Amino acid sequence: MTSHTLVGYARTSTTDQKAGLEAQLRDLEAAGCTKLFQEELSSVASKRPQLDAVLEWVRKGDTLVVTKLDRLARSVADLVAITEALRKKDVALKVLAMNLDTSTPTGKLMLNLLGSIAEFERELMLERQREGIAKAKADGKYAGRQPTARRRAEDVLRLRAEGKSANDIKDALKISRASVFRILAEAGDEGAAARTGADR
C-alpha cells in the first residue's frame, strides 16, 4: 500500500435515500479518495463494521475523509474516541463540509476545541444535576440516589454501543441481565434489547 492514501468513509441510515450514499461517494471520489468504505445501517445499530474496517485499514500518513461529521461520529465523545484512535496511528482526519483537516495546525485546534466543548457540556450537566438535587433537598422532595443499576444506564448504553453482549455488560458493571435489558428498553432501543437477549 502506498503512503499518504486518501481513504473515504460514507454512511447512511436505513431510512435515508440511496441517493444520499451515492452523493457521499461522489464527493469523496472528487476529493481524491482512492479507497472507499461504505455502509448503510440503522442510526441505533451498535456496530459499524465498515467504520471498524477503515480504522483498521488506515496506516501512518493516510487521511480519513468524510463528507460531514455526523457521518463519522454519533456524539462529541464518539468523535473524540475515533480521532484519538486515528492520532495513535498518525492518520489525519478531513471533514469536507467543515473544511476541517487535522493535518493542519488549524484543523488540530478545531478538533481540540470540540473535545473541550464536550468536557464543558459534561461539567454543565453535572452542575445542573447538583443544583437540581440541592433544590429538591431544600424543598423536601429529594428521594435519594437511584438504584445502582439505574445509575449505570449510561455505562450500559456505552458498552452496548461498543458491541458488548448482555453477559459482557452484566459482568463488567456487576448488574443483572434483567437490568441491562430494562435500561436498553427504556432508552428506546427495543431492537438492541432484543438482540442483546440473543447474545446468551
Q: Strand 100-101: give its sheet, edge to edge.
A: 35-40, 6-12, 63-66, 92-95, 100-101
* Cβ contact 195:165 at 8 Å: no
Point out which residues pair with 38 in neighbouring strands: 10
Active site residues: 13
Do residues 60 and 2 touch, judged by C-beta distance below 8 A?
Answer: no
Residue 57 burial by Cβ neighbours in a 10 Å radius (0-12, 13-18, 19+): middle
